């Protein structure tokens, strides 16, 4: 048996291509859209927003505001990802509902939801609170899906001997999570956190610089500063804003991400020590700092002991190796189910009535736009795969290359392409098919990093003993890639492709319809249909276009990504 088959093969599992949960969740999306549209009709016709200054003295304050929104969204994303991924991985019955919901939610183009969410929140909350909350929700949706998929994938691919050890020692749920599951998932979570922040910067401008006709929902922040500079063509302010963003990214890399990656080295699945582990000067400084040690003894260590005392409850039974499938629906579960059915039925009738106002010609434009956007997504994802896999493997397996390339990649991934897109578009307008090329480039710039960082995480997690074994067997070139590297990376590549393709569909809304300097550039596409409907306040077309995108992306997920995900779980686990 080949090396990769001996190491990675486990019994396969089947699964239905579509589940009843898909239909229910899709109906819930329709209900949510209709509810938002209904609330939007009650908002004021004119909403005044703040003035965004390009004075350099305002940059520090704007930067702090943006970091605060990003941090709030990231904390929500991490909490959501851990609870959601853990529940889906540990309970097969819950998984049948949670995974379809996750597939659909990450497929929903949040930029098409943004006007509905904003207008709906403004109708029920104070204006400033509603706008801040909507911006955090938008950033949250750009961060959470890759984190959730990463944690879920880690929970599904924990080596069997780890789970057996936890069962033999009768670990409580807390100890199993703290000492087995979270450490195993840490490398993927850290790299996807880097990507989550990069994705958050990408959508930050959309969150802070949103207007809808005479309604001004702008927020002061670094994203609004960059967008204002790009719109006004102020190159000096744009360069200053990008320089500030790069400085923030470098500081985050040196003070947060590099220390975390160096700390997570201890959790790699390997029987051989790494000759060139990731290091961090800041982590070394903290470990030798008396102040840091004092703070740890006075605050973090007591808090950790309190958590252990509170959550470390001995299990009533030894945890099994397979997800739980038992349990009865409680009375509250039935009450919730009945309420959901009533709510869906009521809203569905009105939503169908709204969709019935969309004429056949408009549906035809939506169908053609969907095919055009699908083609652009396929091109963007294909280009991303060509370069991200070899570069990701180089960074993940070569510490010297990583020391040089990793900060550069993080900076490139975190610079929001939407800030540079107007200039890119101006340079391509005179080229044949220039707007289409620009749209593909923006979709690529906004999504390729999801794949790259997952590949880096997967390459970093390849055990050293397997690398030494492949070297001992003199596996080189394509044979080494086919036997060791690609099987090891396969789960991470699929996770990256799922989030990258979903991000490409979302980015199409920005890429296919752009206004710059009073001029509008629009190409045929579903994203352009959504943006045009948003600008015109045509909620019926907005609902129809958004639902078309959701259904199309979910269908692709079921036909392609879910099957590949099952293959990753079944054949390419790191069981030794």
d(CA 254, CA 304): 26
Cα 550 from Cα 536, distance rounded (Å): 21
> Does position 463 have pLDDT exceeding 80, yes or no?
no
- Looking at residue 572, its pLDDT comes to 62
pLDDT for 325 equals 46
Q: How far is the C-alpha of 232 from the C-alpha of 492, rounded, in Å?
A: 41
Which structure tokens are listed for 168?
């033999």
What's residue 576's pLDDT? 45
**Dist CA 513 CA 522 (whole Å):** 4
Nearest to 200 by CA among 410, 33, 423, 378: 410
Instruction: With cut-offs at 50, 70 and 90, classify the pLDDT of residue 2.
Output: very low
Confidence of residue 383 (pLDDT cuts 50, 70, 90): very high
Give the range among 203-207, 225-229, 367-371 with minimum mean pLDDT: 203-207
Q: Of the candidates 10, 217, 249, which has an alpha carbon nearest to the alpha carbon of residue 114?
A: 217
- Give the count of alpha carbons within 13 A of 558, CB side only: 17
| Strand, coil or helix: 9 | coil
Structure tokens at 67: 């970091």
Query: For 74-88, 403-417, 449-463, 562-576, which range has the lowest pLDDT when averaged over its residues?
Result: 562-576
CA 567, CA 544: separation in Å to the nearest integer? 34
Q: At what angle do helices 539-556 and 486-511 cross, to 10 degrees?
A: 170
SS3 state at 537: coil
pLDDT tens digits, one per residue of 465-485: 777 777 777 777 778 887 788
Q: SS3 for 47?
A: strand
Per DSSP, 51 falls in state: -
Please state, as a whole number, how many other Cβ atoms lie within 10 Å of the Cβ of residue 501. 25
Per residue in 97-130, pLDDT (tens digit) is 777 677 667 666 666 666 667 777 777 778 788 8
Q: What is the pLDDT of residue 75?
A: 94
**521 membership: H or E segment, kind and range:** strand 519-522
Q: Span 551-572, mean pLDDT?
A: 76
With a pLDDT cut of 70, the percent of the chain lying above it is 75
Contact 226, 88 (CB under 8 A): no
The pLDDT assigned to 7 comes to 35
pLDDT on residue 340: 63
Q: Is the dihedral of CA 324, 330, 334, 339 positive or negative?
A: negative
Least confident of 148-152, 503-507, 565-569: 565-569
Three-state SS annotation for 228-280: HHHHHCCHHHHHHHHHHHHHHHHHHHHHHHHHHHHHHHHHCCCCCCCCCCCCC
Q: Distance between CA atoms of 10 and 120, rounded to whole angstroms?
A: 48
Mean pLDDT of 227-235: 76
* pLDDT of amino acid 10: 36
Segment of 15-19, 376-380, 406-410 carrying the highest mean pLDDT: 376-380
The yes-or-no verdict on residue 276 having pLDDT over 80 is no
Residues ≥6 apart with Cβ < 8 Å to 554: 22, 26, 103, 104, 107
Average pLDDT over residues 412-432: 67
Greater confidence (575 vs 400) lies with: 400
Q: If you compute the radius of gyration of the chain from its CA atoms, what whole number of angstroms results?
A: 24
CB 534 within 8 A of CB 112: yes
Q: Decide if pLDDT at 173 tops 50.
A: yes
Mean pLDDT of the chain: 76
pLDDT band at residue 13 under the 50/70/90 scheme = very low
Residue 522, strand partner residues: 513
- Of 148, 131, 157, the closest CA to residue 217 belongs to 131
Cα gap 110→90, rounded to integer Å: 29
Query: What b/e readout covers 61-97, taking b as 16+ CB neighbours within 10 angstroms?
Result: ebbebbbebbebbbebbbebbbebbbbbbbbeebbbb
Q: Which residue is associated with the tokens 């995900």?
A: 565
**Would you say residue 527 has pLDDT above 50?**
yes
Of residues 183 and 573, more confidently modeled? 183
Q: Which one-letter DSSP state was computed for residue 473?
A: T
**DSSP-derived 3-state class of residue 522:** strand
Q: Using one digit for the tens of pLDDT, what is the confidence trace for 300-349?
A: 888 888 877 777 766 555 544 444 444 455 566 566 667 767 766 766 77
Q: Dihedral (C-alpha) 87, 89, 95, 98: value to the nearest 10 degrees? A: 60
- DSSP string computed for 143-181: HHHHHHHHHHHHHHT--HHHHHHHHHTT--HHHHIIIII
Crossing angle (nearest 10°) for helices 417-428 and 182-208: 60
Nearest to 414 by CA among 240, 230, 196: 196
Residue 364's H or E segment, with its range, is helix 360-397
- Of 526 and 203, the one with more pLDDT: 526
Would the pLDDT of 505 be above 80? yes
Give pLDDT, residue 399. Answer: 77
Q: What average pLDDT does this structure show over 63-71? A: 92
C-alpha distance from residue 478 to each of 305, 475, 481, 485, 568 (Å): 50, 8, 5, 10, 20
6 has pLDDT over 60: no
């Amino acid at each position: 048996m080949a090396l990769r088959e001996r190491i990675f093969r486990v019994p396969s599992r089947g699964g239905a291509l579509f589940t009843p949960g898909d239909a229910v969740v899709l109906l819930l999306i329709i209900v949510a859209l209709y509810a938002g549209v209904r609330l939007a009709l009650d908002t004021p016709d004119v909403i005044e927003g703040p003035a965004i200054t390009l004075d350099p003295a305002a940059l520090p304050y704007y930067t702090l505001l943006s970091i605060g929104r990003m941090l709030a969204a990231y904390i929500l994303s991490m909490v959501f990802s851990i609870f959601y991924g853990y529940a889906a991985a540990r309970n097969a019955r819950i998984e049948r509902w949670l995974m379809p919901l996750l597939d659909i939610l990450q497929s929903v183009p949040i930029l098409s939801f943004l006007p509905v969410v904003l207008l709906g929140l403004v109708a029920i909350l104070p204006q400033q609170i509603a706008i801040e909350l909507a911006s955090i929700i938008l950033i949250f949706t750009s961060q959470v899906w890759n984190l959730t998929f990463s944690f879920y994938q880690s929970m599904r691919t924990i080596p069997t001997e780890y789970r057996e050890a936890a069962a033999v020692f009768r670990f409580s749920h807390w100890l199993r999570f703290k000492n087995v599951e979270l450490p195993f998932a840490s490398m993927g979570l850290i790299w996807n956190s880097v990507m989550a922040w990069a994705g958050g910067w990408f959508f930050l401008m959309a969150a802070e610089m949103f207007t809808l006709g005479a309604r001004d929902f702008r927020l002061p922040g670094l994203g609004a500063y960059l967008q204002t500079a790009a719109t006004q063509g102020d190159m000096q302010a744009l360069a200053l804003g990008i320089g500030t963003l790069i400085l923030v990214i470098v500081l985050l890399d040196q003070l947060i991400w590099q220390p975390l990656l160096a700390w997570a080295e201890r959790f790699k699945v390997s029987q051989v020590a790494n000759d060139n582990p990731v290091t961090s000067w800041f982590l070394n400084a903290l470990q030798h700092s008396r102040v840091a040690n004092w703070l740890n003894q006075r605050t973090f260590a007591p808090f950790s002991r309190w958590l252990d005392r509170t959550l470390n409850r001995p299990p009533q039974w030894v945890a099994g190796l397979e997800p739980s499938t038992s349990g009865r629906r409680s009375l509250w579960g039935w009450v919730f189910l009945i309420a959901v059915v009533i709510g869906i039925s009521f809203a569905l009738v009105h939503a169908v009535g709204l969709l019935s106002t969309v004429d056949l010609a408009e549906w035809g434009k939506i169908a053609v736009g969907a095919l055009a956007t699908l083609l652009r997504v396929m091109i963007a994802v294909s280009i991303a795969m060509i370069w991200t896999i070899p570069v990701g493997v180089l960074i993940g397996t070569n510490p010297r290359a990583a020391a040089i390339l990793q900060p550069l990649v993080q900076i490139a991934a975190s610079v929001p392409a939407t800030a540079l897109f107007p200039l890119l578009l101006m340079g391509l307008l005179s080229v044949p098919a220039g707007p289409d090329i620009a749209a593909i480039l923006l979709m690529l710039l906004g999504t390729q990093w999801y794949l790259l960082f997952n590949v880096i995480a997967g390459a970093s997690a390849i055990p050293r003993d397997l690398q030494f074994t492949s070297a001992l067997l003199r596996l080189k070139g394509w044979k080494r890639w086919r036997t060791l590297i690609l099987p090891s990376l396969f789960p991470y590549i699929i996770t990256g492709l799922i989030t990258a393709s979903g991000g490409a569909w979302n980015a199409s809304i920005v890429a296919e319809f752009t206004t710059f300097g009073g001029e509008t550039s629009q190409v045929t596409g579903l994203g352009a249909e959504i943006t045009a409907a948003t600008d015109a306040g045509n909620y019926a077309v907005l609902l129809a276009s958004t639902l078309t995108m959701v259904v199309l992306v979910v269908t692709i997920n079921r036909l392609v990504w879910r099957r590949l995900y099952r293959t990753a779980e079944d054949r390419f686990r790191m069981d030794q």
